[in-house]
Homo-oligomer: A and B are copies of this chain.
Amino acid sequence: MLNFDFYSPTRVLFGMGRHREIGALAAQRAKKVLLHYGGGSVKRSGVYGEIASSLEENGVQFAELGGVVPNPRLSLVRKGVELCLSEGVDLILAVGGGSVIDSAKAIAMGACHKEDVWDFFEGKLKDLSALPLAVVLTIPAAGSESSPVTVISNEEKKLKEGYRSDALRPFVSIVNPELFFTLPEDQIANGVADMMSHVFERYFTDTAKTDLTDGLCEAALRTIIKNAPVLMDDRRDYDAWAEIAFSATLAHNGLLGMGRKEDWASHRIEHQLSAVYDIAHGAGLAVIAPFWMKYVYGDNVGMFAQFAMNVMGAAPSRDIEGLALEGIGRLRRFFSSLGLPSTLRDLGIGSGDFEFMAKNATGAARGSEKPLGGLKKLLWQDVVEIYRLAQ
């Protein structure tokens, strides 16, 4: 086990009806909030109205900014920053999923600095101040509700970049599974692939002696695999949503990676697909993660065999390599059973941008290549190879 710091101060309020507590919570920290959301679904579902009432009842004023899209855009972030300054906002309230939360985090940083907010993502700025953030989750998947990370797409530069700071951890996140009942099937499936990938990036490691976190990762993965098909049959199954949503939060609050070398190559490889083709992050991961596994499993075949047995239900065998491949095969079939894409072709992506994306992923495009990954170090040529396998 490696040395680690565990810090996850976000207060998670979980359960039925709890989004109506947001007004009282916001009132402890703010006079005026920016209510940040995506499309019209929060208005149609009535969640927007309930949150607005809760804020009003608690004497909290709000400005609002909707329009966040998947792979949230820098242009809207900049608009949000201006709005915070002109309206005197002192708290950002994200009502949505990972994209809305990530957009809110970027606004929270931008509103405390004169410099352009993209400077953070380019590594030119590093500072700990940000407006406080609260979250009412409406799509469980990204785990951004208790993570210190934001990922933003710069549409002009065709880049998708992340930034990490403890100041970006929401002080409170409300997770009410009832709010997920109306999510469409493809969004549920994409979310499942995303949350599972958050575990994979921590689980597949070459760090030795990681009994506890191995077990925690496996418990989260088994819980997701058990409950996702229940939702495919009945999108209004509260308990299945509760298991999935709690797993998604845990998958990304940091705990599952403590003491382990993490990987994150699959995410970096997928981010390029989303940036160039604007596909759903989870759908991209469902394709990339298994092919990344096929490309790297030889670097720790025992870990992949353990995955096959402890997560994917493969029977024990002395054929460790066979087990490892069986686990990956079972994972691909599980993703397919949820209606997720299996190949880049399924996503309508051809081979034309492989080199461009691979060089952006590793930084080779900027002349400063940094190999991706923890378990196996990947240069841009390796990334091209993974894209090719995934065709």
Q: A residues engaging B (CB < 8 A)?
A: 1-9, 11-16, 18, 208-209, 211-216, 218-220, 222-223, 226-227, 239, 242-243, 246-247, 250, 255, 258-259
CB <8 Å contact, A243 and B6: no
CB <8 Å contact, B259 and A242: yes
- The verdict on A220 contacting B226 (CB below 8 Å), with A9-B9, A11-B7, A12-B7 known, is no
- The verdict on A12 contacting B3 (CB below 8 Å), with A246-B259, A259-B242 known, is no
- The verdict on A215 contacting B211 (CB below 8 Å), with A1-B239, A242-B259 known, is no
Could you give 11 example pairs across A and B, Cβ below 8 Å? A3-B16, A3-B18, A5-B11, A6-B11, A14-B258, A211-B222, A214-B219, A215-B222, A246-B258, A246-B259, A250-B255
CB <8 Å contact, B8 and A14: no
CB <8 Å contact, B209 and A215: no
Which residue of B12, B16, B212 contacts A219 across the interface (Cβ within 8 Å)?
B212
Distance in Å: Cβ of A78 to nearest Cβ of chain B: 32
Distance in Å: Cβ of A145 to nearest Cβ of chain B: 11
Chain copies in the assembly?
2
- The verdict on A212 contacting B243 (CB below 8 Å), with A8-B8, A14-B258, A219-B218 known, is yes
> From A8, which residue of chain B is reached at the shortest CB distance?
B8
Q: Nearest 5 CB-CB pairs, A to B? A: A3-B15, A215-B219, A9-B9, A209-B239, A6-B12
Which residue of B6, B208, B209, B220 contacts A212 across the interface (Cβ within 8 Å)?
B220
- A242–B259 Cα distance when bound, in Å, is 9
CB <8 Å contact, B7 and A14: no
CB <8 Å contact, B4 and A14: yes
CB <8 Å contact, A218 and B215: yes
CB <8 Å contact, A5 and B9: no
Distance in Å: Cβ of A108 to nearest Cβ of chain B: 19
- A51–B243 Cα distance when bound, in Å, is 43
- A213–B3 Cα distance when bound, in Å, is 25
Distance in Å: Cβ of A191 to nearest Cβ of chain B: 16
- A2–B216 Cα distance when bound, in Å, is 21
> From A219, which residue of chain B is reached at the shortest CB distance?
B215
Residues of B within 8 A of A220 (CB): 212, 215
Residues of B within 8 A of A208 (CB): 239
Residues of B within 8 A of A15 (CB): 1-4, 259
Distance in Å: Cβ of A212 to nearest Cβ of chain B: 4
